[in-house]
Chain A
Amino acid sequence: MKLSARTERQIIYTLLIIAVGLPLVFPIGWKTEVSGYTEMAYKLIEETPAGNVVLISFDYDPSTITELQPMAEALIEHAFKKNHRIVATALWPMGVQMAEKAFQEICAAYPNKVYGEDYVNLGYKVGGMVSIQAMGRNLKEVYPVDSKGTHYDELPILQNIKRLKDFAWIASLSSGVPGLKEWVMVAHDTYGIPVTGGCTAISAPGFFAYVNEQKQLTGILGGLKSASEYESLIDRKGTATSKMDAQSIAHLLILVFIAAGNLKVYLSRRRKRNA
């Protein structure tokens, strides 16, 4: 039976939707191995002494929420567990709402964490790399008020924070430009602050080169798999872990499709040779 290219595509889409949908309804619970890159990011946060102020930048919008929000929640939870105080910023306009959502989710389990003392959401700032450079000189000039309009000097968490160098580590959750690369270029390469972060799977290979001897990046979380690895490291039953079964099944199915496609091409070439 000869199928048209369109019918073949429709079959592939249908199978893929079933392969992704079924494990969401009936989870399998496959375990994932923790990669070296994820472990490096984990160690940076784990080994930072309690009480330090850290910065997490929310450089993404709802289009990449499936991959980056579990990372954001896991990083916040880990930082709260280690009693780090978190300053949230955003280089993407909707990053502000992403930060709010993540804090809301995690603070439900940590009701003793107080806004303004243990964490603060400074909000969005336009300018990308130029804004980060300005933060390196004077944070208050860039963020005179937080996202709720409270003045910088009235926020206890920022009492000893004057510039980027006062943060113990910086993490950027990034789905494009401006994002993690800009933080590496300015925060690490100019000011020497340890930078880690997470990105979508599609941009992960581009960031691996920065996890090097120079420690431009101290580990990186790339895509849903790394988010799930991080959740397992901090013993969190998060959303990334539950989605990994669907991810794994879909990858297996795509491998089958690639094999079938190659077999089809091989057979058609052989038929042409024999004809």
Chain B
Amino acid sequence: MLSFMQSISPMLSSFMQIFGIWLSALFTLSIFSFLYKDNPFYKFAEQVFVGLSAAYWLVYIIHSILIPNLFAKLIGDFGGNAILLIPAALGLMMLLRLHPNTQWLSRYPMAIMIGTTAAISLLRYLKSDILFQVTATMINPLGGETTGEIVGNFLLILGTVCGVFFFYYSKKQEGIYKVPSKIGIWFLMISFGATFGYTVMARVSLLIGRLEFLLRDWLKII
């Protein structure tokens, strides 16, 4: 029996690999079929994806987060890790929101989470997104080595000042105040254009990835 299993094992593995590729191709085409119009193949693929994702994440969270960070530590050294019972209790309290009579209890872990996240983020964002960014704008515009760099430095300062001014709403933007605001809009428009270009690149990359799979792994054309 064992030798029989060993003899069919490579065949089974090869079959499963091919089956996996065909299944993957079928689901890719089913999703692409939505580009023609909504249809049962698309609906089936979409619902399988939603169901599989939910199940996959549940299992992954148990195996990758709860077991190594909580259960394994408590089983290994309960006394040394007793403090973990606090986050475990807070986690359980979060689940109590599923029942109308106990859902008020979930506000406590929620409050702790919001408070700590806000405090941690406030410090980091203040430093990285305000202090460092403002400091990076305080440059000598004539300090560049090439003409391109000097022009770039001037544009950086102009774009930052005018862009920030555009969002200054305490004074009506008319007369002389309208000029920096207009320049700010131009800088914002150019940045939106660049963002759109990058978005196109990202979406085309996804299509390339899927087509490459269909042409290489499934049809073996490339």
**Quick one: CB contact mask for B186-222 with A, threshold 8 Å, 1 for yes?**
0000010011001111111111110110010000011
Residue A139, interface by CB 8 Å: no
Q: Let me know if A189 is at the binding interface, CB within 8 A.
A: yes
Among residues 102 to 151 in chain B, which have CB atoms less than 8 Å away from a CB atom of chain A?
A: 120-121, 124-125, 127-128, 132-133, 135-136, 139
Residue of B nearest to A63 (CB): B206
With A213-B136, A223-B202 as given contacts, are A124 and B64 in contact (CB-CB < 8 Å)? Answer: yes
Asked whether A247 lies within 8 Å of B205 as measured between CB atoms, the reply is: yes
User: Contacts A185-B125, A212-B133, A213-B136 hold; do A254 and B205 have CB atoms under 8 A apart?
Assistant: no
Is A251 an interface residue, CB under 8 A from the partner?
A: yes
Interface check B65, CB cutoff 8 A: yes
Query: Which of under 10, 10 to 19, 20 to 34, or 35 or more describes the interface residues of B?
Result: 35 or more
Chain A interface: which size bin?
A: 35 or more
Q: Complex Cα distance A204/B35, Å?
A: 27
Which residues of the other chain, A, contact B203 by a CB distance below 8 angstroms?
202
A126 contacts the other chain (CB 8 A): yes
With A24-B208, A25-B215, A185-B125 in contact, is A200–B200 under 8 Å at CB? Answer: no
B128 and A225 form a contact (CB under 8 A)? no
**Cβ-defined contact, B124 with A93, below 8 A:** no
Decide if B14 is an interface residue (CB 8 Å cutoff): no
Interface string of A244-275 (1 = CB under 8 A from B): 00110011001000000000000000000000
Residues on the A chain within 8 Å of B221, using CB: 25
Q: Cβ of B191 and Cβ of A205 under 8 Å apart?
A: yes
A65 & B209 in contact (Cβ 8 Å cutoff): yes
Evaluate contact between A21 and B202: CB separation under 8 angstroms.
Answer: no
* Chain B residues in 8 Å Cβ range of A63: 206
**Closest residue on chain B to residue A65 by CB atoms:** B209
Does A66 count as interface, using CB distance less than 8 angstroms?
yes
A138 at interface (Cβ–Cβ under 8 A)?
Answer: no
Q: Which residues of chain B have C-beta atoms less than 8 A from A171's C-beta?
A: none
CB-based contact A225/B201 at 8 Å: yes
Chain B residue nearest in CB terms to A239: B212
Q: How far is the CA of A250 from the CA of B204 in the complex (A)?
A: 7
User: Are the CB atoms of A246 and B69 closer together than 8 Å?
Assistant: no
Chain B residues closer than 8 Å to A130, beta-carbon distance: 120
B128 near A202 with CB under 8 A, answer no
From the candidates A21, A213, A251, name the one contacting B211 in the complex (CB within 8 A).
A21
Are B211 and A201 touching (Cβ within 8 A)? no
* Further pairs besides A213-B135, A213-B139: 20, Cβ < 8 Å: A6-B37, A65-B209, A66-B205, A67-B202, A93-B60, A126-B69, A185-B124, A200-B205, A201-B199, A202-B201, A202-B202, A205-B191, A205-B195, A212-B136, A214-B135, A216-B136, A222-B198, A224-B205, A247-B208, A254-B204
Can you name 24 A-B residue pairings with CB atoms under 8 Å?
Answer: A6-B37, A10-B36, A25-B221, A67-B202, A124-B64, A126-B65, A130-B120, A186-B124, A189-B128, A200-B202, A202-B201, A204-B198, A213-B136, A214-B132, A214-B135, A216-B128, A223-B202, A223-B205, A224-B201, A225-B201, A243-B205, A246-B208, A250-B204, A251-B204
- Please list the residues of chain B having a beta carbon within 8 angstroms of any beta carbon in chain A: 35-37, 60, 64-65, 69, 120-121, 124-125, 127-128, 132-133, 135-136, 139, 191, 194-195, 198-209, 211-212, 215, 221-222
